[in-house]
Structure 1
Amino acid sequence: MITYKSLHHVSLNVTDLEKAKEFYGKTLCLKEIERPDFGFPGAWYEIEGQQLHLILDPTSQTIRQDKHLSSREGHFALRVESYHDTLRWLKENDVETLEKPYSKSGFAQIFCADPDGNLIELNVDQNDFS
């Protein structure tokens, strides 16, 4: 049997590190943290005790072949404090979104994608949604 403590990190390949850092750091407002020198470029972000790791690979392709926004493809989810504030911020920053405020999941969801098409869900519990 395996006993888990938490999800530690998610790693994503990106083809343009500076574009990705602009998106994750400035648009999604994630805090970049120190990253060991692995001999290849990348960036790490801390999210409430968990981490997101970006790995530069200019020839990489994301899991998603079709880059349109979808809630049914591989993605990772981040819990946010305010659905409306998050949606407003993304729109102010010209980020395309797919809104699912009344999802059967019980989460009010906003889907968006990074510059490489990696899909991201931002959500709040529907009980906190008004």
Structure 2
Amino acid sequence: MTDLPLATVHGLYHIAIKTDDLASTRKFWTGIIGLREFPRPDFGYPGAWLGCTQPGGLAIIHVYAGGPALGPEGKAPAGTAAIDHVSLSCSGYRSYVARFKAAGLDWREFIVPGTSLWQLFVYDPSGVQLELTFESFGEGDEKPDMSPGRKYVAGASFFDKATYPKLA
């Protein structure tokens, strides 16, 4: 049996932005800012992955519209509320799950369709959603828990300030 990696952050993976105007948002980030579009898995709702044009550039801005981008009023939020989550590139999937359990935090798990990427979703004390993204190779044989209540559902918040544990 191989040892699983320790919980480690390697860098920013992406920032996700909600929009009610995908065409204009895509045009801004590609035509004006200069990012290029990357292939995006079929999540069942419209969006775009945009990234650096340099060789090996990652899709650093994820934009999505419709479904999970819509708030309770049926519109995508504006301003900083349009930033849905921050994603960090990590290793040590099971170590993070153990940390969440030890701290009394709620979390969700996900496997990105058609890829070898695993994800954990958790909130900070201010309600900022954090996505930890892992290359599954080297993370052991136990796959993410995709059962109801544990599987991440885009656009469905599971943050509750009233029950969030005191971490200090």
| TM superposition score normalised by structure 1 | 0.44
| TM-score, normalised via structure 2 length | 0.35
